[in-house]
Structure 1
Amino acid sequence: MSHSVETHTDELLSASRTVIGDELRSLTYFTERDIDQVYLRSDLDQTADLLGFAENERNGFHAQSLYANSELGDYLFTVRIFENGYLTRVIANGHGVWVTADSMEMDRFEELASALATILRSFEPME
């Protein structure tokens, strides 16, 4: 990972911690070809299948084009609800991030997605 992308992934982590706080479980940066788990909380399984998650979350690149020009407006972010937490996926500028979190209020997802999209738009995807 280049220094520039590493600096920006630090910004993504900082923004996530600011919005979510202790509820942050993990943060993973991805492009259509690459994946980098930036953060994983120490009490979680360190052997999770990132490639399986990445394959599913990369579908968001395709979904963006499918939803383009719909009456719903531009795609902003995705929230997936699980028994033990939430996953928020944000894609912007050709790259994305997914964040997992413990339970939190719904308006915090929008705040999180907005902060992450702003950072993703500020730099080029890793090569």
Structure 2
Amino acid sequence: MADYESLREPLVSAARTAIGDDLRSLVSFSPTDHEQLYLRSDLERDADVERFVAFERLWFDAVGDYGNSELGEYAFTVRAFSNGYLIRVIADGHGAFATTDRMPIAEFSEVATAMRGVLETV
């Protein structure tokens, strides 16, 4: 089981700094459990986090499966939805995903770098 309390402050801080007020939620997860670390105050608490975690968790093994492709190493995944985005980062057996309002796609590299930096220290 991951120590989510030790991740809460640095991961939320990294995501809030990179995303700002467009950050909707932040979830950290491992292959066996998860914790919602942040939920913006104007959002409903009844979101189906379990469903998102179950899907994002499927990619733990796939991250390494890309190997040394002509595209380079896997960095992060962005999923686009009609009302915003989900960005997922997996590093060293830990994962995190943030949901955002709509924002410029170019900003996701900065978000991923900040989140990865925290996950690699766990």
Q: What TM-score do the two structures reach when normalised by structure 1?
A: 0.89
1:38 matches 2:29: no
CA deviation after TM superposition for structure 1 residue 109, in Å? 0.5
Q: How does 1:67-82 map to 2 (within 5 A)?
A: 67-82=66-81
| CA–CA separation in structure 2 for the residues paired with 1:118 and 1:98 | 14
State the partner residue of 1:89: 88
Q: Do the aligned residues in 1 keep the contact of 2:4 with 2:28 (CA within 8 Å)?
A: no
Q: Do the aligned residues in 1 keep the contact of 2:30 with 2:95 (CA within 8 Å)?
A: yes
* 1:22-75 superposed Cα distances (whole Å, 9 cap, x missing partner): 100000000000110001112222111111101110122122122122222111
Structure 1 segments of 4+ aligned residues over 6 angstroms from their partners = none
Give 3-state SS (helix, strand or coil) of 2:31's partner: coil
Q: What TM-score do the two structures reach when normalised by structure 2?
A: 0.93
Unaligned runs of 5+ in 1: none
Q: CA RMSD in A?
A: 1.5
Q: Do the aligned residues in 1 keep the contact of 2:92 with 2:120 (CA within 8 Å)?
A: yes
Aligned residue identity for 2:92: N
| CA–CA separation in structure 2 for the residues paired with 1:78 and 1:41 | 22
Q: How does 1:1-127 map to 2 (within 5 A)?
A: 5-123=4-122
Give 3-state SS (helix, strand or coil) of 1:73's partner: coil
CA deviation after TM superposition for structure 1 residue 5, in Å? 4.0
Relative distance call for 1:5 and 1:50 in structure 2 (3 A) is closer
Aligned residue identity for 1:118: G
**Identity percentage of aligned residues:** 50
The total of aligned residue pairs comes to 122
CA deviation after TM superposition for structure 1 residue 6, in Å? 1.5
Aligned residue identity for 2:91: A
